[in-house]
Amino acid sequence: MAEEVILLNFWPSMFGMRTMIALKEKEVKYEHREEDLINNKRCCLCCKEQLYVCGRKTWATKGEEQEEAKKEFIGILKTLQSELGDKPYFGGDRFGFLDIVLIGFYSWFPAYQKFGNFSIEPECSKLMDWGKRCMERESVATSLPDPERVGGFILQLKKLYGIETTSISRITTFTKFLIIQDLATMADEVILLDYWASPFGMRARIALREKGVKFECREENLRDKSPLLLQMNPVHKKIPVLIHNGKPVYEPADKIWSTTGEVQETAKKDFIEALKILEAELGDKPYFGGDNFGLVDIAMTGYYSWFEPFEKCANFSIESECPTLMASAKRCLQRESVVNSIPNPDELFALALKLRKEYGV
Structural domain ending residue among the three candidates 212, 228, 248: 248
Q: What ranges make up the beta strands (E) of 10-93?
A: 31-34
3-state secondary structure of 247: strand
Q: Note whether 181 and 221 are same-domain residues.
A: yes
Sorted by sequence, the CB contacts under 8 Å of residue 284 that are 6+ apart come out as 324
**pLDDT for 360 beyond 70:** yes
- Quick one: pLDDT at residue 236? 64
Under the banding of pLDDT at 50, 70 and 90, the label for residue 177 is very low
17: in domain: no
* Domains in the chain, number: 3
pLDDT at site 273: 86
In a domain, 150, yes or no: yes
Q: What confidence score (pLDDT) does residue 337 get?
A: 92
Tell me: do 152 and 192 sit in the same domain. no
Specify the DSSP element, H or E, that contains 208.
helix 199-210
Statement to judge: residues 274 and 350 lie in one domain: yes
Evaluate whether residue 36 is within a structural domain.
no
Look up the domain containing 238 and give its range.
174-248
- Residue 43 belongs to a domain: no
CA angle (285 as vertex; 283, 290 as ends), nearest 5: 125
Nearest to 141 by CA among 85, 103, 181: 103
- Please indicate, yes or no, if residue 322 is contained in any of the structural domains: yes
Which amino acid is located at 315 in the chain? N
Same domain (yes/no): 154, 108: yes
Same domain, 210 and 313: no
Least confident of 127-141, 227-241, 281-295, 325-339: 227-241
Looking at the domain assignment, is residue 76 inside a domain?
Answer: yes
How far is 245 from 5, CA to CA, in rounded Å?
44
CATH of the domain at 317: 1.20.1050.10
